[in-house]
Structure 1
Amino acid sequence: MRNYKIDVLRGISILLVLFHHFNIPYKLHDTFLGVDIFGESLSTLIARNGNYGVTMFFVISGFLITQHTLQRSASLAQINLKDFYIRRIARIVPCLVLLVVVVTILGSFGLKPFLNQAPNDIEVSYGLTVFSAFSFWMNILIIQYGWVNYALGVLWSLSVEEVFYLVFPMLCLLLGRGKGFILFLLAVICYAPYFRALHFAEESGAYLYHYFSSFDGIAIGCLTALMVQRFQLNRKMNQSVILFISLLMIGLYLYAPIKEVSTWGISIFALLSAVLIFCFAQNPQAVAQSKMSKAMLWIGQRSYEMYLFHLIVLGLIKVFYFPKQTLPTEKLILLPVFFIGTFILSWAIEKYYSAPLNLKIRTILIKSERK
């Protein structure tokens, strides 16, 4: 059973990412969203730290993958490797294949957002880019050569997640019976800020995109799933904690550009996200009531498709509306067009492609799914 509050958090995360990516080419500071607040435009305050949305995705992903493993097995040490990898393949690969196919087709028409570029004056072949996408090192390609392919660049975070989950089942088997798994997670959580400090503010973006820059969010999510099994909060305290943590997250989000506080900011934001998830997990049977929560739930449930395909929509917009020549009023029209276009495309992909394929692959290859 899905926890609707966690899906709402996913919805918030993807909206932050979408707004962040839209504001990169179409700066909104010259629109009414550019109203000055404490010396900074509102649009900049909202958009500049969209990468925190990815941090939340990492924490949610780590939490859910661990929780689902615990629900399907008596313990982490009894994880079924074959079934685990099949479920990952069924969820990840269909959309990944479709994304690469769509980008390849659009690139064949010579549309610049879908062609490989050389941001650091080093040519990278499209074949190597696609290979990095399917072998989960797009993040390393970006660190070394820059954002070589606009539409495929989002796969940097998928690379981080999937490398972690390639080793996750083996860690469960080797360390899941005692405290070894927890100690491993704590070591990852402690090492990440140190790694980000080593690469602080580098133009390569290693402080954001590298595996060791991001693994702490996933590890914190895994640890949270283990804690949910052992600890509980009473309802009154739970609500108070949610409000307090939400305010802290908003404060950190607005405090400074992520580049300036990456050493500790990403870890703190991940920890705060984990506390929220811990609170949400106290009442997993809760049902969305308000129209707003239902809308955010709908968005959150399709956040994976939105994340992978939103740059397709934005890239096509850039083909027809060159950012430097776009007027402020046009930007305000394009913003909802971008969001609505992403929602419709992601809904169609989820309904008619990724969800059916996910179910079919699992039904064919996993015995327990055939019931």
Structure 2
Amino acid sequence: MFKDIQALRFFAIFFVIFLHLAIILPDNHTYGILRSFSNTDSGVELFFVIAGFFLSHTLEKTKDITSKSDKIVYLLKLYIKKLKRLSPPVYFWIFIPLIFSIITRNSDLWLPYNLMIEKFFSSIVWLRNFEEIGTEGNFGYMWALSLEMQFFIVYPILFLMLGRKKTILISVVLCLMMTFYRPFGGPAWMFRFDPMLYGALLYYLVKSFDLNKLANEEFKINKLHKIIISLTLIISLAVIPAALSHVWTFRFSCASFLSSICVLLAVMEINFFTSFPDRINKVIYYIGDRSFSLFCCHIPVWFMVFQFSQGHQIPALYRVITQVILMFVFAELTYRFLEKPFKKS
């Protein structure tokens, strides 16, 4: 299961980075064609469904806790663990744009320093999605982590206060409501917490069935068929939300549903998303492990290259290659020194 989940994280971060490539490939013809029929913003839904699934898995351990004080202690430990996991890479990579903005005063590239200060502090307190409504910019991608942290704070409290059955019922109602209506109007795309609810509900669906038995009886297919089906699902996750742009609210729900199917297949432990040749799988595992570090650093690294290449006659192709290579270099450094040590602790 773990390797398949890491494979899904690989596809999710690939989607996110592909979406953001418009920053470094603004006039590329091939990229423009691919973007014309796809919207890989749905990679965020895939990340969120995975997060919701494992949050429910964690909260299920509280079923034997009866004391209120013990529940509070458990929640505090859960929050501390989440903060230790997310904060070091996030805080480092929101600090970098702030420093460049203050030192260079290059407002065309880094935004005015007063706005960067606002984004810095709203990121620290995990309110970036609220702040981003008023001052959008190239560094707004941190809204997703703020939303995830808000969900990880509120959902466990409701779960422990109301109990599992009521929480599941409320989750179902909210998912159905957000299929047709989303509050906040235009900025609603930064408040789509329902994918995490889909993931939380999926956990209880999975828990209710013997998936290994079902997989052995109904999914006796060869590796080639697994590859075809898995790639079809992943490509559908990129294309279908774009095709549903005219039904704006439903496209997010559709992306959440498709992501849930992917996660369901991943946790069935039949190597659905890891049926590729070994060399390809190794690349998928490697990038999947570093998906969070890649998410945190990719845009700041790209802008650092923009900053240092200004005033130099560097061909666009060489600049893009440098940006991609350094993105992976800094992701590896972030993973080794800012993410992995705190994950272990």
Q: Which has the higher contact order (CA 8 A, sep 6+)?
A: 2
1:120 aligns with: none
1:345 aligns with: 330
- Confirm or deny that 1:269 pairs with 2:255: yes
Q: 1:18 to 1:283 in 2, by over 3 A?
A: same
Measure the CA separation in 2 of the matches of 1:242 and 1:191: 34
Q: 1:69 to 1:247 in 2, by over 3 A?
A: same
> Offset of 1:224 from its aligned partner?
1.0
SS at match of 1:51: helix
Measure the CA separation in 1 of the matches of 2:229 and 2:17: 26
Superposed, 1:85-234 pairs within 5 Å as: 85-110=79-104, 111-112=106-107, 115-117=110-112, 125-147=115-137, 150-151=138-139, 153-177=140-164, 179-196=165-182, 199=185, 202=186, 206-209=187-190, 211=191, 214-231=192-209, 232=211, 233-234=214-215
Instruction: Pick one of 332, 340, 344 that aligns with 1:355.
Output: 340
Question: Would you say how many aligned residue pairs link Structure 1 and Structure 2?
Answer: 328
Give the AA of the match of 1:19. Answer: F
CA contact (8 A) 2:98 2:117 kept: no
Give the AA of the match of 1:305. Answer: S
Give the AA of the match of 1:230. Answer: S
Give the AA of the match of 1:220. Answer: Y
Cα deviations across residues 208-251 of structure 1 (Å, max 9, x unaligned)?
11x2xx11111001111121111223236346798557525523
Between Structure 1 and Structure 2, the one with more helix by share is 2
Superposed, 1:311-322 pairs within 5 Å as: 311-320=299-308
Q: 1:331 to 1:69 in 2, by over 3 A?
A: farther
Instruction: Pick one of 216, 229, 239 that aligns with 1:235.
Output: 216
SS at match of 1:146: coil
Structure 2 gap segments, 5+ residues each: none
> Offset of 1:157 from its aligned partner?
0.5
Give the AA of the match of 1:116. Answer: L
Give the AA of the match of 2:82. Answer: R
Measure the CA separation in 1 of the matches of 2:270 and 2:33: 35
Q: 1:91 to 1:198 in 2, by over 3 A?
A: closer
Instruction: Pick one of 30, 35, 44 that aligns with 1:44.
Output: 35
Instruction: Pick one of 295, 320, 340 that aligns with 2:283.
Output: 295
> Offset of 1:90 from its aligned partner?
0.8
Measure the CA separation in 1 of the matches of 2:129 and 2:313: 31
SS at match of 1:144: coil
Cα deviations across residues 140-167 of structure 1 (Å, max 9, x unaligned)?
22212322xx33x121001111111111
Give the AA of the match of 1:312. Answer: P
Q: 1:309 to 1:75 in 2, by over 3 A?
A: farther
1:10 aligns with: 9
SS at match of 2:134: helix
Q: 1:60 to 1:161 in 2, by over 3 A?
A: same
Instruction: Pick one of 233, 241, 264 that aligns with 1:278.
Output: 264
SS at match of 1:170: helix
RMSD, matched Cα: 3.2
Percent identity over the alignment? 22
SS at match of 1:352: helix
Measure the CA separation in 2 of the matches of 1:61 and 1:75: 23
1:367 aligns with: none
Q: 1:164 to 1:24 in 2, by over 3 A?
A: same
Q: 1:175 to 1:197 in 2, by over 3 A?
A: closer
Q: 1:326 to 1:266 in 2, by over 3 A?
A: farther
Measure the CA separation in 1 of the matches of 2:25 and 2:309: 10
CA contact (8 A) 1:189 1:216 kept: yes
What is the TM-score with the length of structure 2 in the denominator? 0.82
Q: 1:345 to 1:131 in 2, by over 3 A?
A: same
CA contact (8 A) 2:95 2:120 kept: no
